[in-house]
Structure 1
């Protein structure tokens, strides 16, 4: 995930430096970003690092911490939760509700559905109290997680996304949270594709219109406040000859529910049509074989931790160039998975496309005493 974080904070300017780079369509949003998750590449962005009111996009982080508590077995999906007066009081404000009250004991599974599908503020508070002990402690957990990921433009003061002066995030940071949910908790991601939910005999529809318009969209979260405008994180996965390809768009500050859906759809369609995602190497494939000093083996095979995909303007894939940079001299012992180099992918003009960490595929043990002594002498002469 460190590789993904590094690429997310890189501007799309390097990609657009190429004369052949496709230009994104006009997007009627204050801020946006389009990310190719498969290739770990930002395809387009505008003011993606500007702190904004995130509205209910906040609930992505709320859900992430609940998913983590489930993974750590501090909660179970069938565990019943109490509903505090504080959670019930959410109905006095924003209309985004699951409609729980203090006489109910919904399960964690029910609360997650209420949080994600109708964007229930009451569900957010109930879950926060159940995981953190109090809303305030849970908010502190949210901020610690944001800091651990290096989200420099995010500061949480509540779990719902209601407007407060210091409650901020950015399009890039929101995209980061969304990617973490998809990659860290694939078992829980299907919550975001559910189109409707009925609880307490009240049926509510998911506010993400793209779930019913585009069969390849399988998430993720809407948001609205007067300060934020209409916001949407949309995630789509489409099949291509070289495998599945996932894009995520984040639009913030659009004018209406229809606008956030149509502008997100415009970004996704452009990303899929204007760029190719090329599979350069398989995860098990040796990308380079390099010499090793003082080792029982004289060489080591370097490869990526997983398949290597890159996103390039359509038709430009044949012009890519790759270069391997590695530690030199490379001295044993070497552990499997140890990072010792980088695969750099550029266009023919030298414009950076991707940088992929390279790791040792098989361990290399130390050579015997004589072998180590001989290589030490050779290194000294070198």
Structure 2
């Protein structure tokens, strides 16, 4: 799957809702869950964690590893770097147990976040994607949703922890296996994954001239095939497509009817520029329709999301852009409700 985050369009998809085992791309949700805790003041990057003998014995050197030792004292920031850069299975478990007290509670938090984001085809049974008899699964669409949230909700943490080329811990230097960062112009992550059952997976992102693309590849039979496909798909998305402006941010797109309001309608606009992604040199003639569940009940706050603009372009899947109220609409007073009722009778 390849999506243009700037426009919201899907440029390529094959079986986007097919469920598969994510392997270490599971750690994207572990990082996201930690980022959410940090953003809400419930976790500090500077907090020092002592690695328990149990975690060190069970997980250090087990698959991809940060090679944590019993009684090592590491910060949350170091563990996050170990998770996102060298895919540490041990770092994922250590962070999960510290934050939630148990792996079961941590995976509950992961699944709560997945439900909140609308990841309908995902379930997480571990913080690291280690084989668990199929309890952990996801889809390309869901991983694209997760990657989008990672970028949009936590841009500073994304820049700090995603897309690093490698790290050194306890004198052991390891490289990131990300196939596009440093190879594809503008690439900055996100995460590879591999088990024998899952095959070779990758969730990646790159940004050029304000356009950010997100890709998901799953089930490749070899790492070299995954890496070639990732590079070709990302470059194709940038080289063969461009964004065209449909309407600037905060411009008036249309109106929605209001119920029990001081006004009968509310103006609708978009928070950001409304873009369409089209093949380079291609023409653009999108069909635009406004959708909302209405009339919209007053009161309505300025900037409140109340509708969606559906954009349909020939040859591409339709996609929706949220629309917000361009002005506040107060609840009608007694006189206004009386007048609204009279208009309803005679209209």
| TM-score > 0.5 by shorter chain | yes
CA separation of 1:379/1:138 partners in 2, compared to 1, >3 Å: closer, same or farther? same
The superposition leaves residues 56-84 of structure 1 with CA deviations (integer Å, 9 ceiling, x where unpaired) of 00100111111112112222111101212
CA separation of 1:381/1:130 partners in 2, compared to 1, >3 Å: closer, same or farther? same
Report the alpha carbon displacement of residue 170 of structure 1 after superposing the two structures with TM.
1.7
CA separation of 1:342/1:184 partners in 2, compared to 1, >3 Å: closer, same or farther? closer
- Once residues 303 and 106 of structure 1 are traced to their aligned partners in structure 2, the CA distance between those partners, rounded to angstroms, is 47
The aligned runs of 1:78-117 (5 Å cut-off) are 78-88=46-56, 89-91=58-60, 93-94=62-63, 96-117=64-85
Per the alignment, residue 118 of structure 2 pairs with 150
- Once residues 72 and 303 of structure 2 are traced to their aligned partners in structure 1, the CA distance between those partners, rounded to angstroms, is 49
Where in structure 1 are there 5+ consecutive unaligned residues?
A: 1-32
CA separation of 1:318/1:90 partners in 2, compared to 1, >3 Å: closer, same or farther? same
Q: Pick the aligned partner of 2:169 from 172, 194, 199.
A: 199
Secondary structure of the corresponding residue to residue 147 of structure 1: helix
Q: Do residues 174 (structure 1) and 174 (structure 2) align?
A: no
Report the alpha carbon displacement of residue 343 of structure 1 after superposing the two structures with TM.
2.4
CA separation of 1:164/1:340 partners in 2, compared to 1, >3 Å: closer, same or farther? closer
CA separation of 1:298/1:144 partners in 2, compared to 1, >3 Å: closer, same or farther? closer
Q: Do residues 354 (structure 1) and 322 (structure 2) align?
A: no
The aligned runs of 1:54-65 (5 Å cut-off) are 54-65=22-33
- Once residues 93 and 367 of structure 1 are traced to their aligned partners in structure 2, the CA distance between those partners, rounded to angstroms, is 64
50-59 vs 314-323, greater mean Cα deviation:
314-323
Q: How many residues align?
A: 344
Contact 1:310 1:353 in 2 (8 A): no
Where in structure 2 are there 5+ consecutive unaligned residues?
A: none
Secondary structure of the corresponding residue to residue 49 of structure 2: coil
Q: Do residues 264 (structure 1) and 226 (structure 2) align?
A: no
Per the alignment, residue 86 of structure 2 pairs with 118
Q: Do residues 230 (structure 1) and 204 (structure 2) align?
A: no
TM-score under structure 2 normalisation?
A: 0.89
The aligned runs of 1:205-220 (5 Å cut-off) are 205-220=175-190
TM-score under structure 1 normalisation?
A: 0.82
Per the alignment, residue 185 of structure 1 pairs with 154
Report the alpha carbon displacement of residue 167 of structure 1 after superposing the two structures with TM.
2.1
Report the alpha carbon displacement of residue 326 of structure 1 after superposing the two structures with TM.
5.8
Q: Do residues 67 (structure 1) and 35 (structure 2) align?
A: yes
Report the alpha carbon displacement of residue 320 of structure 1 after superposing the two structures with TM.
2.0
Contact 2:26 2:128 in 1 (8 A): yes
